[in-house]
Amino acid sequence: MLPLQHYSHMQQTFLQQFKAEPQLMSVAPGRINLIGEHTDYNDGFVLPGAIDKCVTFMLAENGEADLCRVYSVDMNESVEFSLQALSPMENGGWRNYILGVAAELQLAGASLRGFDATFKGDVPLGAGLSSSAALECALATGLNALFDLGFSQVELATVSQMAEHHYAGVKCGIMDQFASVMGKKDQVFRLDCRTLEYAHFPLDLQEYQLLLLDSCVEHSLAGTAYNERRNQCEVGVNVLKHFYPETLKLRDISPEQLNAYKTTLSEVVYRRCLHVVNENERVQRTCEALTAHELPLLGSLLYQSHDSLSKLYEVSCPELDFLVDYTRSIDWVLGARMMGGGFGGCTLNLILSSEKDRFVESISAAYLREYGIQLKAYAVSLEDGAHVKPIPA
């Protein structure tokens, strides 16, 4: 959450930029995914939650028919555009998320008029916490309120996802935007990526907390490996279909069903499929652990997820493995795993709150010694998803 003084700064910036007062403020958070990695495109389950880091917009109608002006406080840059005939800008950076949301809202039937907006965020950019979804969902939520559009939360998530597809060129699943709008304080939710059905579960961490460690690496393999993994899952499905004709995606296969026909798959395709079917089960087992408030079980599921991603799915990297391995012998770290697509980004750690500072100090030093990289640590709590807030007086 932005400290209070940022709001007055944003308000002053709005006044300076547009010579008017903002009418409303909208907020949308970044997200974590507790467990369920590389399950989304297999029609499986994920378990995300919205975090206490968000993007905040201040907005007002400007009386114009279709002229819009948006100023990024963090970038100290602005964009001016007409609501007619929108298209992505070359090298537009953050501007394309804005244009995308305005365009996709209209495609979904919204009648927009001219507006002015300033925005600022504290979701780390490009760290795998979905600052892009936070940006899209905050604007979509703000415009929904400003123009009384009447879109549901799910529709706002979908519009934001389409903005990311068509204006940022990232063909993401629905999880990030869904989490940014549907998150609830101290809860994660199990999302069925096939039906979009969801159910919230309490994340009662007692004396423990979630801590993200950003490896600050991004290996270039990520793009090609992602496509390769998707293909391998499809190959698996195409073979398994012969034995289980109802199968559409790996989501439809249980670990027992997979193992019954193990020898019909190549060794590598088997390992990829095994990760996906087990990871789907782990999401369910994690929900049970949360319901039973069993934190050690939650921790062990996180380690299992990491090992599976690292050894079976092979989307980890030495830096992420190092960060997870470092925690294994520490009894007040209950679990850790890489989070996100892999080959870089953050690890998610379940750690005793009282040991956090000491832990960050020691693991940072060890990581620096090993890789010459200063990691970044983010403590996160789970908060409500996108909403409109009164502008502080």
Catalytic residue numbers read 176
Report in angstroms how near the CB of residue 93 gets to ligand ADP at its nearest.
Answer: 5
- Asked whether position 171 contacts ligand ADP by CB under 6 A, the answer is no
Which is closer to ligand ADP, CB of 107 or CB of 125?
125
Which is closer to Mg ion, CB of 15 or CB of 216?
216
Stretch that binds ligand ADP, among 9-17, 93-101, 268-276, 372-380 (CB under 6 A): 93-101
Binding mask 10-49 for ligand ADP (x = CB under 6 A): ----------------------------------------
Smallest CA-to-CA distance from 342 within 173, 229, 234, 192 is with 229
Identified binder of ligand ADP from the candidate list 100, 128, 342, 344, rule CB under 6 A: 128
Which of ligand ADP, Mg ion, none does residue 94 bind (CB under 5 to 8 Å by kind)? Answer: ligand ADP
Binding mask 117-136 for Mg ion (x = CB under 5 A): -------------x-x----
Identified binder of ligand ADP from the candidate list 8, 63, 80, 126, rule CB under 6 A: 126
Stretch that binds ligand ADP, among 21-29, 124-132, 225-233, 302-310 (CB under 6 A): 124-132
Identified binder of ligand ADP from the candidate list 118, 130, 141, 215, rule CB under 6 A: 130
Could you give the 3-state DSSP secondary structure of residue 20?
Answer: coil
Q: Which of residues 191-220 bind ligand ADP (CB under 6 A)?
A: none
Report in angstroms how near the CB of residue 29 gets to ligand ADP at its nearest.
Answer: 12
Which is closer to Mg ion, CB of 125 or CB of 292?
125
Which of ligand ADP, Mg ion, none does residue 139 bind (CB under 5 to 8 Å by kind)? Answer: none
Which is closer to Mg ion, CB of 212 or CB of 351?
212
Which is closer to ligand ADP, CB of 126 or CB of 392?
126
Which of Mg ion, ligand ADP, none does residue 223 bind (CB under 5 to 8 Å by kind)? Answer: none
- Asked whether position 158 contacts ligand ADP by CB under 6 A, the answer is no
HEC assignment per residue over the chain: CCCHHHHHHHHHHHHHHHCCCCCEEEEEEEEEECCCCCCHHHCCEECEEEEEEEEEEEEEECCCCCEEEEEECCCCEEEEEECCCCCCCCCCCHHHHHHHHHHHHHHCCCCCCCEEEEEEECCCCCCCCCHHHHHHHHHHHHHHHHCCCCCCHHHHHHHHHHHHHHHCCCCCCCHHHHHHHHCECCEEEEEECCCCCEEEEECCCCCEEEEEEEEEEECCCHHHHHHHHHHHHHHHHHHHCCCCCCCCCHHHCCHHHHHHCHHHCCHHHHHHHHHHHHHHHHHHHHHHHHHCCCHHHHHHHHHHHHHHHHHHCCCCCHHHHHHHHHHHCCCCEEEEEECCCCCEEEEEEEEEHHHHHHHHHHHHHHHHHHHCCCCEEEEECECCCCEEECCCC
- Asked whether position 33 contacts Mg ion by CB under 5 A, the answer is no
Categorise residue 255: left if φ over 0, alpha if ψ from -120 to 50, beta otherwise. Answer: alpha
Number of residues interacting with ligand ADP: please give it, by CB under 6 A.
Answer: 19
Identified binder of ligand ADP from the candidate list 39, 132, 247, 304, rule CB under 6 A: 132
Two tokens at 278?
């087990």
Which of Mg ion, ligand ADP, none does residue 125 bind (CB under 5 to 8 Å by kind)? Answer: ligand ADP
Non-local (6+) Cβ contacts of 361 within 8 A are none
Instruction: Give the binding site for ligand ADP (CB under 6 A).
Output: 55, 72, 74-75, 93-94, 97, 120-121, 123, 125-132, 135
Interface positions with Mg ion (CB under 5 A):
130, 132
